[in-house]
Structure 1
Amino acid sequence: MNRLSIKLREVYFPFLIISIATILSYNLFRWIFDIKLGILPLKEDLLNFWIPFAIPWVPILLWLRRRIRILKISRKGGDGNFAYQFAMALAMTVPIIISQNYLQKASYDLIFVNNIQQTKAHEKEKYFKVNTYSLDKGTLLPYVTSRTSGKYNSRLNFHLYISCPFKNAENVWYGITFKKTISNRLNDHEKDVAYKNFIQASERKLKTYSFQNANYFQKLGNSDDRDGFLGAIKTANKGVDEKGQIILVPKMESFVDKHDNSFTWIFASFGIGAFVLLLMTTLPGINKKELNNFKKRKDLKDDDLKEFLEYLNPMGPYKSTSILLLLNIAVFLVMMFSGLNIISPTPQELLEIGGNRRAEVMTGEFSRLLTSTFIHGGLLHLVMNLVGLGLGGMLLDSILGRFQFILSYILCGIVASIASILWYENTVSVGASGAIFGLYGIILAFTIFKIFPRYMRSTTWILLGLYAGGSLLFGFFGGIDNAAHFGGLISGFVIGGILIVTQKEALMQKAK
Structure 2
Amino acid sequence: MIEINLSDIKYKIKSIFIPYLLISISSCVLYTLFYWVIVVQLDMFQFPSSIVNLLVLFMIPGVLVQTVLKERLQILAIKKIRVIGFKLLILFSIIVPLVLLGHAILDDVFFRLVEINDVEDIGKFSSDKFFTVNSFKIIKNQEKGYTRVTPPSRGSSMELVFYRLFQFENSENIWYGLSFDKKVLTAEDDQNGTLSKVFSANIQNDLDTYNFYNVDYFEKVFNPTEKKNFMRGIDNNDLKFRDSSPIILIPQKGKFEQRLYTKTSGLVQIYLINIAFVLFIIFQLKLKPRDIK
Same fold (TM > 0.5): yes
Find the partner of 1:137 among 137, 140, 147. 140
Shift in Å at residue 142 of structure 1? 1.4
1:240-279 correspondence to structure 2 within 5 Å: 240-242=242-244, 244-263=245-264, 269-279=270-280
Find the partner of 1:38 among 25, 39, 43. 43
Match of 1:124 in 2: 127
Shift in Å at residue 181 of structure 1? 2.2
Match of 2:90 in 1: 88
User: CA 1:92–1:201 in 2, change beyond 3 Å: closer, same or farther?
Assistant: same
Match of 1:58 in 2: 62
What TM-score, normalized by structure 2, do the two folds share?
0.79
Amino acid at match of 1:12: F
Match of 1:284 in 2: 285
Structure exhibiting the larger radius of gyration computed from Cα positions:
1
Higher strand share goes to which structure? 2
Amino acid at match of 2:203: S
Shift in Å at residue 69 of structure 1? 4.4
1:143-292 correspondence to structure 2 within 5 Å: 143-148=146-151, 152=154, 154-183=156-185, 185-186=187-188, 192-235=193-236, 237=238, 240-242=242-244, 244-263=245-264, 269-287=270-288
Amino acid at match of 2:63: P
SS of 2:142's equivalent in the other structure is coil
Shift in Å at residue 283 of structure 1? 4.5
8 Å CA contact retained: 1:140, 1:163: yes
Match of 2:3 in 1: none
Shift in Å at residue 102 of structure 1? 2.2
Amino acid at match of 1:247: I
What TM-score, normalized by structure 1, do the two folds share?
0.48
Size of the alignment, in residue pairs? 281
8 Å CA contact retained: 1:56, 1:92: no
Shift in Å at residue 171 of structure 1? 1.2
Amino acid at match of 1:17: L
8 Å CA contact retained: 2:31, 2:60: no
Match of 1:115 in 2: 118
Q: Distance in 2 between matches of 1:187 and 1:284?
A: 47
Match of 1:364 in 2: none
Bigger RCO (CA 8 Å, 6+ sep)? 2
For residues 343-372 of structure 1, give each alpha carbon's deviation from its aligned partner in whole angstroms, at most 9, with x where no partner exists: xxxxxxxxxxxxxxxxxxxxxxxxxxxxxx
Match of 1:99 in 2: 101
SS of 1:39's equivalent in the other structure is coil
Match of 1:492 in 2: none
SS of 1:221's equivalent in the other structure is coil
Match of 1:70 in 2: 75
User: CA 1:159–1:51 in 2, change beyond 3 Å: closer, same or farther?
Assistant: farther
User: CA 1:180–1:266 in 2, change beyond 3 Å: closer, same or farther?
Assistant: closer
Amino acid at match of 1:145: R
Shift in Å at residue 211 of structure 1? 1.5
User: CA 1:102–1:9 in 2, change beyond 3 Å: closer, same or farther?
Assistant: same
Q: Distance in 2 between matches of 1:117 and 1:187?
A: 42
For residues 411-457 of structure 1, give each alpha carbon's deviation from its aligned partner in whole angstroms, at most 9, with x where no partner exists: xxxxxxxxxxxxxxxxxxxxxxxxxxxxxxxxxxxxxxxxxxxxxxx
Amino acid at match of 2:193: D
Shift in Å at residue 177 of structure 1? 1.5
8 Å CA contact retained: 2:24, 2:61: no
SS of 1:176's equivalent in the other structure is strand
SS of 1:233's equivalent in the other structure is coil
For residues 179-221 of structure 1, give each alpha carbon's deviation from its aligned partner in whole angstroms, at most 9, with x where no partner exists: 22224622556x6332221122122122222211122111010
SS of 1:104's equivalent in the other structure is helix
SS of 1:168's equivalent in the other structure is coil
Higher helix share goes to which structure? 1
8 Å CA contact retained: 2:46, 2:224: no
Match of 1:16 in 2: 21
SS of 1:281's equivalent in the other structure is helix
Shift in Å at residue 225 of structure 1? 2.0
SS of 2:140's equivalent in the other structure is coil
Amino acid at match of 2:91: A
Structure 1 stretches lacking a partner, 5+ long: 292-512
8 Å CA contact retained: 1:160, 1:179: yes
Structure 2 stretches lacking a partner, 5+ long: 1-5
Amino acid at match of 2:288: N
User: CA 1:140–1:265 in 2, change beyond 3 Å: closer, same or farther?
Assistant: closer
Q: CA RMSD in A?
A: 3.4
Shift in Å at residue 99 of structure 1? 2.8
Amino acid at match of 1:185: A
State the percentage of identical aligned residues: 22
Amino acid at match of 1:59: V
Amino acid at match of 2:201: Q
